[in-house]
């Protein structure tokens, strides 16, 4: 090749692939922000706060209070009271910064949550006085910055507080003009490990008076800078907090702000979508922002409320609830190309393996691992029954506080396997050898349990006594709860166990491990019980379980949230590509959701739980996309907060996956390792996406305009064979490799080999 031709190839390749790093921050995310015209009403709270939010995936800042008494609540994913019962145990609140501005009593309130910059701003006005506030949590350090300016002179009085009570030990002091506070859980009956936190504050731009107050002059800028460490971060947690606060000055903060903005710019460059619907795009990018502020690789995994904890004893202890709440927040991250944000997911599960083996052996006489409903970090169990018969009777109407050895399994054996779904999503999305080696022991322990637990009867594997829903004593069913035990072949169990053994075959083959066990695993997959269906009003519909003593479980309930977990998310064993005949039954069940609606926003019955499950599942089975989006908008309008967090009664951060996953599944799917672009999208509506991640470790971009797909662009990370449904049915397709025309493909579905790092483009052959 001569130099001129070489330059032409390079230039054409750059033109083809130059937009691979197009930033959603620059295009779309920057358009959307959350606006607040009144002070938050749900701060503090045991559940989801409604105030402006900022975070770095470890530290969360929640703004509460009124203009004259602003409260900046500081949560942290690794600050736990490691006690096995809630309330009392679970994630805890380190403390808060209170800023009193008495001149603003009764002032007007205005704030913004600016998501592309991960910044909270506020303007509080009363007559001629206007006070402006900016707050952000550094994306790259344990630092929080709160900045104030004013149009007229006024007095600010900041106070850093550590939460007290709940057996905590508190200290406070001043070191070289650095104010600091600490909170620690150090000892006590059943405390599994100590946990301590320090917060240190430095004032820049002014000097505090003896009483701690600051005189803010017109147009003067002051900054309250807080550093925050736990003993999970550093054994010298207190010293480090104070030392880093001392070292912060204006040049250091400027560098920190530069790194902060660069981190978020990179975050927004990972992927983007453009669907011509400002309402849905607003919630799409808001959900991505909130997840980016909630979860970070290398840090503790977020619990139910993420780091946005505003009081002790959050609902359900803010723990890792393993029967979907813990897993669901991550589901959109894989296809959105936020793989590094999911890097904290596995550690709590791995840390609990020794206890899980003990549970399996002691309680069931089985091999492998058996997990309760809720755990925490570092091998912590959070879901023990109340420790005394009296407390048990008060809360659950029975004095039996040693059910299942004193642990809440709630009739469910499947909790450990639930998390395998996330592990497989990441594995199939990356084909990362190191990651596969990390998760394989956990998956193998799950396989050990289910090989032991399954029964082979009449030519099929069946599952006894694993329950579709939680079965437990409570104030309503009193002593009859045991009469509800006995589910046989729950759709949840059958689907997730099938998923497990399909995954075992794939991951063990990839790692070249345990070849001698694959015959058994293949036999289980092939002979696993079918999902149970029955006729309703002249059509077939899904049953929740094959048999159950519970009237609710034994009925024909159709496809619902819990069944979806086994079949579609995270199960991934059903869909149009897997079994088109069975998929028609599921599609009919989704269509029947309209008949069960009791009001606006109640399609799929997701006000309590399941918005992140039911809407993407409806997309996957092929229900009309325009109807789905209409119902999703209704659901959001009925139950969401000013900070754009879509809420559910039974959980918190899980809802952050709802809109991104629904949209991603409309624009691209890759389950069963077949890539489909715009598989469930109204072709009359223009849309485009960049760098959505597909199974096989492909980054995919495409554009639909005036009813035509203009191109499909891909980057191959792992060099695997690509299988794709033809984006142009009936047409021949030109494959372009690294800017050069290569083979021509045709057929309803085609495949082609790829190389690591290869850039690929597919376009329709003119005239074909």
H or E stretch at 162: strand 154-162
Rounded to an integer, the average pLDDT of 4-14 is 33
Q: Is 121 among the domain residues?
A: yes
Q: Are 304 and 316 contacting, i.e. CB atoms less than 8 angstroms apart?
A: yes
Six-digit token pair at 420? 């395998």
Percent of the chain with pLDDT strictly greater than 70: 97
Does residue 440 surpass a pLDDT of 50?
A: yes
The tens digit of pLDDT for each residue in 246-256 reads: 999 999 999 99
CA separation for the pair 55, 57 (Å, rounded): 6
- DSSP states along 699-762: EEEEEEETTEEEEEEEEESS---EEEE-SSTTS-EEEEETTEEEEEE-SSEEEE---TT-EEEE
CA separation for the pair 388, 399 (Å, rounded): 8
Bridge partners (DSSP) listed for residue 689? 273, 702
Residues 720 and 760 in one domain: yes
The set of residues, in sequence order, having a beta carbon less than 8 Å from that of 258 and lying 6+ positions away, is: none
Residues 78 and 172 in one domain: yes
Does residue 430 surpass a pLDDT of 60?
A: yes
Residues 13 and 92 in one domain: no
CA separation for the pair 302, 296 (Å, rounded): 9
- DSSP states along 433-490: HHHHHHHHHHHHHHHHHHHHH-EEETTEEE-BS--SS-----TTTGGGGGGG---EEE
23 pLDDT band (50/70/90 cuts)? Answer: confident
Does residue 752 surpass a pLDDT of 90?
A: yes
Residues 9 and 46 in one domain: no
Q: Is 69 among the domain residues?
A: yes
Angle at 688 between CA 687 and CA 690, to 5 degrees: 160
Q: Is 372 among the domain residues?
A: no
Q: Is 82 among the domain residues?
A: yes
Q: Is 152 among the domain residues?
A: yes
Closest to 267 in 3D by CA, of 654, 605, 691, 607: 691
Does residue 88 surpass a pLDDT of 60?
A: yes
Residues 152 and 7 in one domain: no
Query: SS3 of 243, please?
Result: helix
557 pLDDT band (50/70/90 cuts)? Answer: confident
Q: Are 644 and 286 contacting, i.e. CB atoms less than 8 angstroms apart?
A: yes
Closest to 476 in 3D by CA, of 397, 393, 394, 553: 397
Give pLDDT, residue 363.
98
Q: Are 700 and 712 contacting, i.e. CB atoms less than 8 angstroms apart?
A: yes
Does residue 3 surpass a pLDDT of 50?
A: no
Give pLDDT, residue 553.
75
Give pLDDT, residue 6.
31
Q: Mutual orientation of helices 625-638 and 611-621 as an angle, nearest 10°?
A: 170
CATH number of residue 716's parent domain: 2.60.40.1180
CA separation for the pair 507, 483 (Å, rounded): 40
| Beta strand 740-745 pairing with 676-677 | unpaired
Residues 98 and 247 in one domain: yes
477 pLDDT band (50/70/90 cuts)? Answer: confident
The set of residues, in sequence order, having a beta carbon less than 8 Å from that of 699 and lying 6+ positions away, is: 20, 337, 691, 692, 693, 714, 715, 717
- DSSP states along 269-323: HS-EEE-S-HHHHHHHHHHHHHHHHH--TTSPPP-TTTT---SSS-GGGG-EETT
Residues 7 and 86 in one domain: no
Residues 13 and 73 in one domain: no
Residues 10 and 148 in one domain: no
Residue 155's domain spans which residues? Answer: 32-272
- Looking at every residue in the chain, the average pLDDT score rounds to 95
Q: What is the pTM of this model?
A: 0.96
Residues 11 and 85 in one domain: no
Six-digit token pair at 112? 């913004």
Place of tokens 């998923």: 499
Percent of the chain with pLDDT strictly greater than 90: 91
Q: Is 252 among the domain residues?
A: yes
Q: Which of 222, 255, 272 is the last residue of a domain?
A: 272
565 pLDDT band (50/70/90 cuts)? Answer: very high
Please tell me the number of Cα atoms within 13 Å of 75 on its side-chain side: 37
| CA end-to-end span of the chain | 31
Q: Is 735 among the domain residues?
A: yes
22 pLDDT band (50/70/90 cuts)? Answer: low
417: left (phi over 0), alpha (psi -120 to 50) or beta: alpha
The set of residues, in sequence order, having a beta carbon less than 8 Å from that of 512 and lying 6+ positions away, is: none
CATH number of residue 129's parent domain: 2.70.98.50
Place of tokens 């997911």: 345
- DSSP states along 640-690: B-TTSPBPBTTBSGGGGGHHHHHHHHHHEE-GGG-BEESTTS-TTS-EEEE
Q: Are 201 and 245 contacting, i.e. CB atoms less than 8 angstroms apart?
A: yes
Rounded to an integer, the average pLDDT of 587-612 is 95
Under DSSP, the state recorded for 65 is E
Six-digit token pair at 257? 């702000």
Q: Which of 237, 272, 307 is the last residue of a domain?
A: 272
Give pLDDT, residue 83.
97
Q: Which of 229, 247, 272 is the last residue of a domain?
A: 272
19 pLDDT band (50/70/90 cuts)? Answer: very low
User: How would you write 205-238 as a 3-class SS string?
Assistant: CCCCCCCCCEEECCCCCEEEEEEEEECCCCCCHH
- Backbone torsions φ then ψ of 711, nearest 5 degrees: -170, 165
The tens digit of pLDDT for each residue in 41-71 reads: 999 999 999 999 999 999 999 999 999 999 9
Query: SS3 of 59, please?
Result: strand
Does residue 556 surpass a pLDDT of 80?
A: no
The domain total for the chain is 2
Q: Is 478 among the domain residues?
A: no
Residues 8 and 59 in one domain: no
Does residue 361 surpass a pLDDT of 80?
A: yes
Give pLDDT, residue 476.
80
24 pLDDT band (50/70/90 cuts)? Answer: confident
Under DSSP, the state recorded for 635 is H
Does residue 16 surpass a pLDDT of 70?
A: no
Give pLDDT, residue 26.
79
CA separation for the pair 299, 343 (Å, rounded): 9
Residues 228 and 267 in one domain: yes
């Amino acid at each position: 090749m001569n130099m001129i031709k070489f330059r032409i190839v390079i230039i054409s390749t750059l033109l083809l692939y130059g937009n691979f790093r197009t930033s959603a921050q620059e295009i779309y995310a920057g358009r959307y922000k959350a606006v607040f015209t009144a002070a938050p009403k749900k701060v503090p709270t045991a559940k989801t706060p409604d105030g402006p939010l900022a975070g770095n995936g470890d530290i969360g800042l929640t703004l509460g209070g009124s203009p004259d008494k602003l409260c900046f609540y500081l949560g942290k994913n690794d600050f736990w009271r490691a006690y096995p019962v809630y309330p009392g145990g679970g994630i805890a609140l380190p403390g808060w910064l209170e800023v009193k501005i008495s001149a603003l009593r009764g002032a007007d309130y205005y704030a913004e949550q600016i998501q592309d910059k991960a910044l909270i701003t506020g303007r509080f006005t009363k007559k001629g006085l206007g006070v402006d506030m900016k707050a952000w949590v550094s994306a790259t350090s344990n630092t929080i910055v709160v900045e104030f300016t004013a149009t007229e002179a006024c007095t600010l009085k900041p106070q850093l507080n550590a939460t007290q009570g709940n057996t905590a030990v508190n200290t406070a002091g001043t070191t070289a003009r650095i104010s600091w506070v600490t909170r620690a859980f150090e000892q006590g009956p059943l405390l599994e490990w100590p946990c301590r936190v320090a917060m240190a504050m430095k004032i820049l731009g002014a000097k505090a008076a003896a009483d701690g107050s600051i005189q803010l002059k017109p147009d003067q800028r002051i900054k309250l800078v807080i550093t925050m460490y736990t003993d999970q971060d550093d054994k010298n947690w207190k010293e480090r907090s104070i030392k880093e606060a001392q070292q912060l000055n204006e040049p250091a903060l400027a560098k920190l702000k530069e790194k902060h903005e660069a981190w978020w710019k990179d975050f927004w460059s990972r992927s983007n979508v453009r669907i011509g619907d400002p309402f849905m795009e607003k919630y799409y990018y808001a959900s991505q922002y909130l997840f980016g502020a909630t979860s970070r690789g290398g840090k503790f995994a977020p619990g139910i409320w993420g780091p946005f904890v505003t009081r002790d004893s959050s609902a359900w202890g803010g723990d890792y609830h393993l029967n979907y709440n813990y897993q669901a927040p991550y589901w959109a991250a894989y296809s959105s190309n936020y793989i590094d944000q999911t890097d904290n997911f596995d550690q709590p599960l791995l840390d609990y393996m020794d206890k899980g083996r003990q549970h399996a052996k002691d309680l069931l006489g089985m091999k492998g691992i058996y997990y309760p409903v809720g755990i925490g970090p570092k091998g912590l169990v959070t879901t023990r029954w109340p420790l005394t018969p009296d407390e048990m009777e008060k809360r659950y109407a029975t004095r039996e506080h040693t059910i299942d050895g004193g642990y809440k399994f709630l009739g469910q054996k499947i909790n450990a396997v639930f998390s395998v779904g996330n592990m497989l999503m990441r594995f199939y999305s990356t084909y990362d050898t190191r990651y596969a080696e990390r998760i394989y022991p956990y998956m193998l322990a799950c396989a050990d349990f289910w090989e032991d637990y399954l029964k082979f009867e009449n030519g099929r594997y069946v599952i006894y006594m694993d329950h579709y829903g939680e079965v437990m004593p409570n104030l309503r069913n009193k002593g009859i709860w045991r009469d509800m035990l006995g589910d046989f072949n729950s759709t949840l169990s059958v689907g997730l166990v099938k998923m497990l053994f399909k995954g075992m075959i794939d991951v063990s083959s990839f790692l070249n491990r345990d070849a001698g066990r694959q015959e058994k695993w293949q036999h289980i997959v092939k002979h696993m019980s079918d999902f149970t269906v029955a006729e309703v009003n002249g059509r077939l519909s899904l049953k929740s379980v094959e048999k159950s003593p519970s009237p609710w479980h034994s009925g024909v309930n159709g496809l619902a949230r819990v069944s979806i977990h086994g079949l579609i998310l995270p199960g991934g064993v059903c869909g149009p590509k897997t079994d088109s005949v069975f998929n028609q039954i599921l599609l009919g069940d989704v269509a029947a959701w309209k008949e069960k609606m009791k009001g606006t926003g109640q399609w799929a019955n997701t006000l309590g739980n399941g918005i992140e499950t039911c809407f993407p599942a409806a997309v996957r089975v092929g229900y009309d996309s325009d109807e789905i989006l209409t119902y999703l908008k209704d659901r959001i309008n009925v139950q969401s907060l000013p900070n754009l967090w879509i809420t559910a009664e039974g959980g918190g951060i899980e809802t952050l996956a709802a809109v991104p996953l629904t949209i991603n599944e409309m624009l691209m799917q890759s389950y069963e390792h077949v890539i489909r672009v715009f598989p469930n999208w109204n072709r009359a509506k223009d849309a485009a996406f960049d760098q959505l991640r597909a199974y096989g470790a492909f980054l995919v971009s495409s554009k639909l305009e005036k009813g035509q797909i203009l191109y499909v662009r891909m980057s191959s990370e792992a060099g695997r064979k690509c299988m794709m449904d033809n984006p142009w049915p009936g047409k021949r397709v030109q494959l372009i490799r690294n800017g050069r025309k290569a083979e021509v493909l045709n057929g309803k579905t085609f495949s082609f080999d790829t190389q690591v790092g290869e850039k690929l483009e597919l376009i329709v052959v003119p005239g074909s």
